[in-house]
């Protein structure tokens, strides 16, 4: 089975779609504005050492000088035991000195960026610490045996004469030796490149920036099944070509520039797929459908049959719908990049064989997932619990915000409910104040209801209060929003 990777680049964002046999499997979006500077490595120039504060200001080419505290200066002696007393900053740095620094905190407002001279470079599965020599493992990999196996695997990849330490990230849990090997090579090449630039560039200069989404595609997404990587921007195609020449030369033949008139994402139906991946309902070919609900705590996916189920083939229809749903669920989890706990509510099945067949189908469909998943059996209530590791933010979190009209509840009060709220509010205000007139400011639908179906109730209240009530449409108000003004 061959996979195509589509890369759509504009100045404001980069979007990537993985397409397998015409069906979009994964979507990734990175907004240029949300890319911070943390992780960037610069050749900085010390502007001023402040012994009193045990810190220094360093020019890294930004408007404001960045800040370096003595505690963030890498000191070879800190590994000595017993630990020696810390070296004062004025004995390590001097004005005008060039130093290789990494941003550990983005600049905020008037505060400059915060720096460290302890360098770390993140790969896909490993973090490289060029100044260190040990191998550390993420706390989140809990299994002791697994930790030991991983440590040995990485240890084997390091030649005795090579310097530098590594931290094994959780992503490495299921990594093959080849995966780890390519990560080690990538990180060493990156570091060599940084050192080379630091020697030749005048300070201040940017030496390294965390990979952007398009570059990560080249490093992380491509495998033997990848048939092509199509990039719709010539400029970025050339940049990726350069990147591939340096780090992933075997991919060069797969990399292509898409020069077409028609937008690349339209051509493959990706835009439509993005819209669908943001909706609650996913239609199945059999006539059934899924309802996907994403909340803070978990995601629930409810499987439903179509409107009509034939009585004679009842069990069979349900079984087939659940089988189809298994595939749709696996695909939606990847597309939407949902992480954490999921509760799957398949249509109830009596037949134990059907149940286990549906579970098998689900596991088979999930096997394509790059992200780690674990699936339980059917619970006493007939639900399947599963978890999917949280990696990036979900698609909905990147592209959406809670609806202002319903604050994320997914429902808004009806226009009639709002009309009655307003009538109560009028009564309340009339008890407190004595205006000449009341004016209702509300959305078009609410005002329309007052003019038509609810006109009588409004007139009755007006007569009861003995005051005129006028209506005004506020086009920017959403359905639940209104104001009662005293004139």
Give the shortest CB-345-to-Zn ion separation in angstroms. Answer: 23
* Helix then strand then coil, % of the chain, to nearest 5: 35, 25, 35
Q: Tell whether residue 405 is a contact of Zn ion (CB under 5 A).
A: yes
Distances (CA, A) of 192 to 103, 238, 343: 19, 22, 47
The three-point CA angle 328-330-333 to 5° equals 105
Q: Is 375 or 399 the residue whose CB approaches Zn ion more closely?
A: 399
Q: Is 21 or 411 the residue whose CB approaches Zn ion more closely?
A: 411
| Span interacting with Zn ion, options 126-134, 140-148, 402-410, 416-424, rule CB under 5 A | 402-410
Give the shortest CB-278-to-Zn ion separation in angstroms. Answer: 13
Contact in structure between 335 and 26 (CB atoms under 8 Å): yes
Residue nearest to Zn ion (CB): 403
Contacts of 61 (CB under 8 A, 6+ apart): 42, 204, 205, 206
Q: Is 139 or 275 the residue whose CB approaches Zn ion more closely?
A: 275
Give the shortest CB-277-to-Zn ion separation in angstroms. Answer: 18
Among the listed residues 267, 343, 375, 406, the single contact to Zn ion using CB under 5 A: 406
Give the closest residue to 268 by CA, choosing from 232, 308, 298, 303: 232
Q: Is 176 or 411 the residue whose CB approaches Zn ion more closely?
A: 411
Residues 358-397 as x/- pattern, contact with Zn ion by CB under 5 A: ----------------------------------------
Q: Tell whether residue 158 is a contact of Zn ion (CB under 5 A).
A: no
Distance CA(245)–CA(390), nearest Å, equals: 32
Give the shortest CB-398-to-Zn ion separation in angstroms. Answer: 18
For the record, the structure tokens of 456 come out as 């009588």
Give the shortest CB-441-to-Zn ion separation in angstroms. Answer: 21
Taking each helix axis as running N to C, give the angle between helix 144-157 and helix 177-200, from 0 to 180 degrees, rounded to the nearest 10. 50
| CB-based burial, 290-309: b 16+ in 10 Å, e otherwise | bebebeeeebbbbbbbeeeb
Give the shortest CB-365-to-Zn ion separation in angstroms. Answer: 31
Give the shortest CB-480-to-Zn ion separation in angstroms. Answer: 9
For the record, the structure tokens of 439 come out as 């004016």
Give the closest residue to 215 by CA, choosing from 194, 239, 250: 239
Could you give the 3-state DSSP secondary structure of residue 229?
strand
CB count, 10 Å around CB of 106? 14
Give the shortest CB-337-to-Zn ion separation in angstroms. Answer: 22
**Footprint of Zn ion on residues 20-39 (CB under 5 A)?**
none
| Span interacting with Zn ion, options 13-21, 250-258, 374-382, 405-413, rule CB under 5 A | 405-413
Reading across the β-sheet that carries 438-442, which strands appear in turn?
Answer: 469-473, 438-442, 482-486
Give the shortest CB-313-to-Zn ion separation in angstroms. Answer: 38
For the record, the structure tokens of 416 come out as 């009639």
Distances (CA, A) of 304 to 93, 263, 301: 67, 35, 10
Helices (DSSP H) in 296-443: which residue ranges? 314-336, 352-366, 395-399, 415-432
Residues 245-274 as x/- pattern, contact with Zn ion by CB under 5 A: ------------------------------
Q: Is 8 or 479 the residue whose CB approaches Zn ion more closely?
A: 479
Give the shortest CB-410-to-Zn ion separation in angstroms. Answer: 6
Q: Tell whether residue 463 is a contact of Zn ion (CB under 5 A).
A: no
Contact in structure between 128 and 158 (CB atoms under 8 Å): no
Contact in structure between 391 and 339 (CB atoms under 8 Å): yes
| Span interacting with Zn ion, options 66-74, 203-211, 349-357, 406-414, rule CB under 5 A | 406-414
**Footprint of Zn ion on residues 407-446 (CB under 5 A)?**
none
Q: Tell whether residue 278 is a contact of Zn ion (CB under 5 A).
A: no
Q: Tell whether residue 403 is a contact of Zn ion (CB under 5 A).
A: yes
Give the closest residue to 7 by CA, choosing from 279, 253, 248, 254: 254
Distance CA(100)–CA(196), nearest Å, equals: 12
Q: Is 406 or 465 the residue whose CB approaches Zn ion more closely?
A: 406
| Span interacting with Zn ion, options 55-63, 208-216, 235-243, 403-411, rule CB under 5 A | 403-411
CA neighbours within 13 Å on the CB side: how many for 424? 6
Contacts of 80 (CB under 8 A, 6+ apart): none
Which residue shows structure tokens 């990696």? Answer: 391
Size of residue set near Zn ion by CB under 5 A = 3
Q: Is 85 or 411 the residue whose CB approaches Zn ion more closely?
A: 411
Which residue shows structure tokens 């109560």? Answer: 424
| Span interacting with Zn ion, options 83-91, 385-393, 398-406, 421-429, rule CB under 5 A | 398-406
Binding site for Zn ion (CB under 5 A): 403, 405-406
């Amino acid at each position: 089975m061959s996979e195509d990777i589509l890369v759509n680049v504009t100045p404001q964002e980069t979007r990537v779609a993985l397409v397998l046999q015409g069906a979009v499997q994964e979507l990734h979006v990175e907004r240029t504005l949300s890319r911070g500077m943390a992780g960037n490595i610069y050749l900085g120039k010390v502007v001023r050492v402040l012994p009193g504060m045990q810190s220094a200001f360093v020019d890294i080419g930004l408007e404001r000088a960045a800040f370096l505290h003595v505690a963030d200066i890498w000191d070879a002696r800190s590994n000595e035991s017993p630990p020696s007393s810390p070296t004062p900053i004025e004995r390590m740095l001097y004005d005008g000195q060039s130093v290789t620094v990494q941003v550990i905190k983005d600049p905020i407002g008037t505060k400059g960026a915060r720096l460290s001279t302890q360098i770390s470079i993140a790969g896909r599965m490993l973090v490289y610490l060029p100044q260190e020599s040990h191998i550390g493992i993420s706390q989140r990999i809990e299994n002791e045996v697994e930790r030991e196996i991983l440590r040995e695997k990485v240890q084997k990849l390091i030649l005795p004469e090579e310097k530098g330490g590594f931290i094994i990230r959780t992503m490495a849990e299921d990594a093959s030796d080849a995966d780890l090997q390519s990560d080690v090579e990538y990180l060493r090449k990156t570091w060599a490149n940084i050192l080379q630039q630091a020697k030749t560039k005048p300070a201040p200069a940017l030496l390294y920036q965390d990979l952007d989404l398009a570059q990560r595609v080249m490093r992380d997404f491509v495998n033997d099944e990848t048939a092509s990587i199509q990039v719709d921007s010539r400029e970025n195609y050339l940049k990726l070509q350069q990147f591939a020449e340096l780090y992933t030369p075997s991919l060069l033949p797969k990399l292509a520039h898409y020069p077409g008139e028609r937008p690349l994402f339209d051509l493959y139906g990706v835009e439509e797929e993005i819209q669908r991946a943001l909706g609650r309902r996913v239609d199945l070919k059999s006539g059934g459908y899924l309802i996907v609900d994403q909340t803070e705590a978990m995601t629930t996916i409810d499987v439903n049959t179509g409107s009509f189920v034939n009585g004679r083939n009842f069990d069979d229809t349900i079984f087939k719908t659940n089988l189809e749903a298994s595939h749709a669920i696996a695909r939606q989890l990847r597309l939407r990049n949902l992480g954490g706990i999921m509760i799957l509510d398949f249509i109830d099945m009596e037949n134990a064989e059907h149940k286990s067949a549906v579970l098998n189908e689900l596991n088979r469909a999930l096997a394509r997932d790059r992200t780690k998943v674990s699936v339980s059996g059917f619970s006493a209530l007939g639900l399947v619990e599963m978890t999917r590791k949280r990696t990036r933010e979900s698609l909905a979190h990147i592209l959406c915000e809670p609806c202002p009209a319903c604050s994320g509840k997914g429902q808004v009060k009806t226009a009639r409910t709002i009309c009655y709220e307003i009538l109560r509010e009028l009564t309340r205000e009339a008890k407190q104040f004595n205006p000449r007139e009341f004016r209702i400011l509300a959305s078009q639908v609410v005002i329309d209801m007052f003019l038509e179906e609810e006109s009588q109730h409004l007139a009755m209240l007006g007569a009861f209060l003995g005051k005129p009530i006028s209506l005004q449409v506020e086009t920017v108000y959403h359905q639940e929003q209104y104001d009662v003004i005293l004139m």
